[in-house]
Structure 1
Amino acid sequence: LNMLEMFTRVQPSTLSSGSVPTFKERRPFHARKNDVAEIRRQQPNKVPLIIERFDGERSLPLMDRCKFLVPDHITIAELMHIIRRRLQLHPEQTFFLLVNEKAIATNSMTLSQLYQSEQDADGFLYLVYTSQPAFG
Protein backbone atom coordinates (compact mmCIF):
# COMPACT_ATOMS: atom_id res chain seq x y z
CA LEU A 1 0.00 0.00 0.00
CA ASN A 2 1.21 3.48 -0.65
CA MET A 3 1.02 6.08 2.11
CA LEU A 4 -2.05 7.84 0.68
CA GLU A 5 -4.02 4.59 0.63
CA MET A 6 -2.90 3.78 4.15
CA PHE A 7 -4.23 7.09 5.41
CA THR A 8 -7.61 6.85 3.73
CA ARG A 9 -8.66 3.34 4.69
CA VAL A 10 -11.88 3.20 6.65
CA GLN A 11 -11.85 2.10 10.27
CA PRO A 12 -13.14 -1.47 10.76
CA SER A 13 -16.74 -1.93 11.72
CA THR A 14 -17.71 -2.48 15.34
CA LEU A 15 -17.19 -6.02 16.57
CA SER A 16 -19.98 -8.01 18.17
CA SER A 17 -18.61 -7.10 21.62
CA GLY A 18 -19.35 -3.46 20.80
CA SER A 19 -15.77 -2.23 20.89
CA VAL A 20 -13.50 -1.39 17.98
CA PRO A 21 -9.93 -2.68 18.14
CA THR A 22 -7.46 0.16 18.52
CA PHE A 23 -4.96 1.08 15.83
CA LYS A 24 -2.18 -0.39 18.01
CA GLU A 25 -4.13 -3.65 18.29
CA ARG A 26 -4.66 -3.81 14.52
CA ARG A 27 -1.13 -2.91 13.37
CA PRO A 28 2.12 -4.27 14.87
CA PHE A 29 4.70 -1.90 16.38
CA HIS A 30 7.38 -2.40 13.69
CA ALA A 31 4.86 -1.65 10.92
CA ARG A 32 3.67 1.52 12.69
CA LYS A 33 7.28 2.65 13.22
CA ASN A 34 8.08 2.04 9.53
CA ASP A 35 4.91 3.91 8.48
CA VAL A 36 5.95 6.97 10.50
CA ALA A 37 9.52 6.90 9.18
CA GLU A 38 8.21 6.93 5.60
CA ILE A 39 5.59 9.61 6.33
CA ARG A 40 8.11 11.90 8.06
CA ARG A 41 10.58 11.43 5.19
CA GLN A 42 7.97 12.34 2.56
CA GLN A 43 6.14 15.03 4.54
CA PRO A 44 8.33 16.38 7.37
CA ASN A 45 5.97 19.31 8.09
CA LYS A 46 3.02 17.06 8.89
CA VAL A 47 2.21 15.30 12.16
CA PRO A 48 1.05 11.67 11.94
CA LEU A 49 -2.01 11.47 14.22
CA ILE A 50 -4.15 8.61 15.41
CA ILE A 51 -7.49 9.92 16.70
CA GLU A 52 -9.77 7.34 18.28
CA ARG A 53 -12.94 7.39 20.34
CA PHE A 54 -12.50 6.57 24.03
CA ASP A 55 -13.35 2.89 24.52
CA GLY A 56 -16.24 3.51 26.93
CA GLU A 57 -17.68 6.42 24.92
CA ARG A 58 -21.25 5.94 23.70
CA SER A 59 -22.64 9.43 23.06
CA LEU A 60 -20.09 10.50 20.41
CA PRO A 61 -19.96 8.80 16.99
CA LEU A 62 -17.02 6.90 15.57
CA MET A 63 -15.03 8.77 12.95
CA ASP A 64 -14.81 7.28 9.46
CA ARG A 65 -11.05 6.83 9.92
CA CYS A 66 -8.47 7.16 12.67
CA LYS A 67 -5.27 8.11 10.80
CA PHE A 68 -4.57 11.71 9.89
CA LEU A 69 -1.67 13.75 8.54
CA VAL A 70 -2.04 17.30 9.80
CA PRO A 71 0.20 20.34 9.20
CA ASP A 72 2.42 20.84 12.26
CA HIS A 73 1.49 24.53 12.65
CA ILE A 74 -2.21 23.74 13.33
CA THR A 75 -3.25 24.55 16.90
CA ILE A 76 -5.20 22.24 19.19
CA ALA A 77 -8.18 24.63 18.90
CA GLU A 78 -8.09 24.32 15.09
CA LEU A 79 -7.79 20.53 15.33
CA MET A 80 -10.78 20.40 17.68
CA HIS A 81 -12.80 22.41 15.14
CA ILE A 82 -11.83 19.94 12.39
CA ILE A 83 -12.78 16.97 14.59
CA ARG A 84 -16.09 18.60 15.54
CA ARG A 85 -16.91 18.95 11.82
CA ARG A 86 -15.90 15.37 11.04
CA LEU A 87 -18.07 14.07 13.90
CA GLN A 88 -20.93 16.34 12.75
CA LEU A 89 -21.64 17.42 16.33
CA HIS A 90 -24.43 19.80 17.29
CA PRO A 91 -23.22 23.15 18.70
CA GLU A 92 -24.35 22.17 22.23
CA GLN A 93 -22.42 18.87 22.17
CA THR A 94 -19.03 19.04 23.86
CA PHE A 95 -16.05 16.76 23.58
CA PHE A 96 -12.58 16.59 25.04
CA LEU A 97 -9.29 15.52 23.49
CA LEU A 98 -6.95 13.49 25.63
CA VAL A 99 -3.33 12.60 25.02
CA ASN A 100 -1.71 9.85 27.12
CA GLU A 101 -4.86 9.69 29.28
CA LYS A 102 -4.77 13.35 30.27
CA ALA A 103 -6.43 16.51 29.00
CA ILE A 104 -4.43 18.71 26.65
CA ALA A 105 -3.37 21.73 28.69
CA THR A 106 -3.75 24.54 26.19
CA ASN A 107 -5.73 24.99 23.00
CA SER A 108 -3.17 27.47 21.64
CA MET A 109 -0.43 24.82 21.56
CA THR A 110 0.58 23.71 18.05
CA LEU A 111 0.53 20.09 16.98
CA SER A 112 4.29 20.33 16.52
CA GLN A 113 4.72 21.25 20.21
CA LEU A 114 2.35 18.50 21.35
CA TYR A 115 4.03 15.97 19.06
CA GLN A 116 7.49 16.79 20.43
CA SER A 117 6.37 16.18 24.02
CA GLU A 118 3.78 13.42 23.65
CA GLN A 119 4.56 11.25 20.62
CA ASP A 120 4.47 7.49 21.13
CA ALA A 121 7.53 5.24 20.78
CA ASP A 122 6.21 4.25 17.33
CA GLY A 123 6.26 7.91 16.22
CA PHE A 124 2.49 8.51 16.01
CA LEU A 125 0.71 11.02 18.23
CA TYR A 126 -2.30 9.27 19.79
CA LEU A 127 -5.35 11.34 20.72
CA VAL A 128 -8.61 10.10 22.21
CA TYR A 129 -11.89 11.99 22.08
CA THR A 130 -14.56 11.63 24.73
CA SER A 131 -17.64 13.42 26.04
CA GLN A 132 -16.21 13.30 29.58
CA PRO A 133 -13.42 15.65 30.72
CA ALA A 134 -11.30 12.85 32.26
CA PHE A 135 -11.11 9.10 32.59
CA GLY A 136 -12.82 7.56 35.58
Structure 2
Amino acid sequence: RRQAEAGRIREKYPDRIPVIVEKAERSDIPDIDKKKYLVPADLTVGQFVYVVRKRIKLSAEKAIFVFVKNTLPPTVVRLICFLVSDAAALMSAIYEENRDEDGFLYMTYSGENTFGSPFLLA
Protein backbone atom coordinates (compact mmCIF):
# COMPACT_ATOMS: atom_id res chain seq x y z
CA ARG A 1 0.00 0.00 0.00
CA ARG A 2 2.76 2.46 0.91
CA GLN A 3 4.68 1.50 -2.20
CA ALA A 4 1.73 2.54 -4.38
CA GLU A 5 1.36 5.75 -2.36
CA ALA A 6 5.05 6.63 -2.79
CA GLY A 7 4.82 5.87 -6.51
CA ARG A 8 1.84 8.22 -6.92
CA ILE A 9 3.64 10.93 -4.95
CA ARG A 10 6.85 10.67 -6.98
CA GLU A 11 4.86 10.68 -10.24
CA LYS A 12 2.80 13.72 -9.28
CA TYR A 13 5.65 15.57 -7.51
CA PRO A 14 8.94 14.41 -9.10
CA ASP A 15 10.89 17.17 -7.34
CA ARG A 16 9.71 16.07 -3.88
CA ILE A 17 10.91 13.34 -1.50
CA PRO A 18 8.38 11.32 0.57
CA VAL A 19 9.71 11.15 4.14
CA ILE A 20 8.33 9.53 7.30
CA VAL A 21 9.74 10.89 10.58
CA GLU A 22 9.31 9.12 13.92
CA LYS A 23 10.66 9.54 17.42
CA ALA A 24 13.10 6.89 18.64
CA GLU A 25 11.76 4.51 21.26
CA ARG A 26 12.47 5.48 24.87
CA SER A 27 13.53 8.98 23.86
CA ASP A 28 12.46 11.78 26.20
CA ILE A 29 12.26 14.32 23.38
CA PRO A 30 8.75 15.55 22.41
CA ASP A 31 6.60 13.67 19.90
CA ILE A 32 6.25 15.13 16.44
CA ASP A 33 2.74 16.17 15.41
CA LYS A 34 3.14 15.20 11.75
CA LYS A 35 4.96 12.09 10.57
CA LYS A 36 4.67 12.30 6.76
CA TYR A 37 6.47 15.00 4.78
CA LEU A 38 6.82 15.85 1.12
CA VAL A 39 10.23 17.49 1.09
CA PRO A 40 11.79 19.50 -1.76
CA ALA A 41 14.60 17.43 -3.29
CA ASP A 42 17.02 20.34 -3.04
CA LEU A 43 16.42 20.86 0.69
CA THR A 44 19.50 20.14 2.80
CA VAL A 45 19.48 17.75 5.73
CA GLY A 46 20.22 20.71 8.00
CA GLN A 47 17.15 22.55 6.72
CA PHE A 48 14.98 19.49 7.23
CA VAL A 49 16.29 18.99 10.76
CA TYR A 50 15.33 22.62 11.40
CA VAL A 51 11.77 21.77 10.26
CA VAL A 52 11.70 18.79 12.65
CA ARG A 53 13.00 20.94 15.52
CA LYS A 54 10.23 23.47 14.89
CA ARG A 55 7.52 20.79 14.69
CA ILE A 56 8.52 19.31 18.06
CA LYS A 57 9.12 22.78 19.54
CA LEU A 58 12.66 21.91 20.61
CA SER A 59 14.61 24.77 22.15
CA ALA A 60 17.89 25.82 20.52
CA GLU A 61 20.07 24.59 23.40
CA LYS A 62 18.73 21.01 23.17
CA ALA A 63 20.52 18.50 20.97
CA ILE A 64 18.77 16.45 18.33
CA PHE A 65 20.11 13.38 16.55
CA VAL A 66 18.53 12.38 13.26
CA PHE A 67 19.00 8.87 11.90
CA VAL A 68 18.16 7.15 8.64
CA LYS A 69 17.25 3.50 8.80
CA ASN A 70 18.70 1.77 5.77
CA THR A 71 17.28 -1.70 5.21
CA LEU A 72 19.33 -2.51 2.08
CA PRO A 73 20.52 -5.20 2.06
CA PRO A 74 17.44 -6.56 3.85
CA THR A 75 19.43 -8.49 6.45
CA VAL A 76 21.41 -5.46 7.60
CA VAL A 77 20.07 -2.43 9.41
CA ARG A 78 22.40 0.55 9.45
CA LEU A 79 21.73 3.66 11.47
CA ILE A 80 23.34 6.82 10.22
CA CYS A 81 23.64 9.94 12.34
CA PHE A 82 23.76 13.28 10.61
CA LEU A 83 26.46 15.35 12.25
CA VAL A 84 27.23 18.98 11.53
CA SER A 85 29.44 18.05 8.56
CA ASP A 86 26.54 16.17 6.99
CA ALA A 87 24.05 19.03 7.32
CA ALA A 88 24.76 20.28 3.78
CA ALA A 89 23.84 16.94 2.18
CA LEU A 90 20.78 17.20 -0.04
CA MET A 91 17.67 15.25 0.90
CA SER A 92 17.58 13.90 -2.68
CA ALA A 93 21.01 12.28 -2.21
CA ILE A 94 19.99 10.81 1.16
CA TYR A 95 16.78 9.52 -0.43
CA GLU A 96 18.56 7.86 -3.35
CA GLU A 97 21.01 6.09 -1.05
CA ASN A 98 18.66 5.16 1.80
CA ARG A 99 15.05 4.95 0.65
CA ASP A 100 13.07 1.95 1.76
CA GLU A 101 11.79 -0.56 -0.79
CA ASP A 102 8.33 0.97 -0.30
CA GLY A 103 9.63 4.26 -1.74
CA PHE A 104 9.67 6.29 1.49
CA LEU A 105 12.70 7.63 3.33
CA TYR A 106 12.39 6.76 7.03
CA MET A 107 14.02 9.07 9.55
CA THR A 108 14.16 8.69 13.32
CA TYR A 109 15.01 11.45 15.77
CA SER A 110 16.16 11.42 19.37
CA GLY A 111 17.40 13.83 22.00
CA GLU A 112 20.34 11.57 22.69
CA ASN A 113 22.51 9.25 20.65
CA THR A 114 20.45 6.17 21.48
CA PHE A 115 22.06 4.03 18.81
CA GLY A 116 25.64 4.09 20.08
CA SER A 117 28.49 5.09 17.82
CA PRO A 118 26.99 6.60 14.69
CA PHE A 119 28.07 5.86 11.15
CA LEU A 120 29.08 8.97 9.25
CA LEU A 121 27.83 9.67 5.75
CA ALA A 122 30.67 9.62 3.27
Separation of aligned partners in 2, 1:127 and 1:104: 11
Structure with more strand by fraction? 2
Highest RCO, 1 vs 2 (Cα 8 Å, sep ≥ 6): 2
For structure 1, which runs of at least 5 residues remain unmatched after alignment?
1-30
State the SS of the aligned residue for 1:128. strand
- Structure 2 counterpart of 1:9: none
Match of 2:104 in 1: 124
Q: 1:104 deviation in Å?
A: 2.7
Partner residue, 2:72: none
Task: In structure 2, list runs of 5 or more residues that go unmatched.
Answer: 70-78, 117-122
The superposition leaves residues 81-129 of structure 1 with CA deviations (integer Å, 9 ceiling, x where unpaired) of 1111111111111111001222136111000000000000101000000
1:103 match: 81
Q: Could you tell me the percent identity over the aligned residues?
A: 30
TM-score (norm 2): 0.82
Residues 19-47 of structure 1: CA deviation (Å, up to 9, x unaligned): xxxxxxxxxxxx00000010001000000
- With the length of structure 1 as denominator, give the TM-score of the two structures: 0.74
- The structure 2 residue matched to 1:38, chosen from 8, 26, 50, is 8
Structure 2 counterpart of 1:39, one-letter code: I
1:133 positional shift: 2.3
Q: How many residues align?
A: 105
The equivalences for 1:62-73 within 5 A come to 62-73=31-42
Instruction: Please tell me whether Structure 1 or Structure 2 has the larger radius of gyration of its CA atoms.
Output: 1
Q: Which runs of 4+ in 1 moved over 6 A?
A: none
CA contact (8 A) 1:49 1:125 kept: yes
- Which amino acid is the alignment partner of residue 45 of structure 1? D
Q: CA RMSD in A?
A: 1.2
- The one-letter code of the counterpart of 2:62 is Q
SS of aligned partner of 2:107? strand
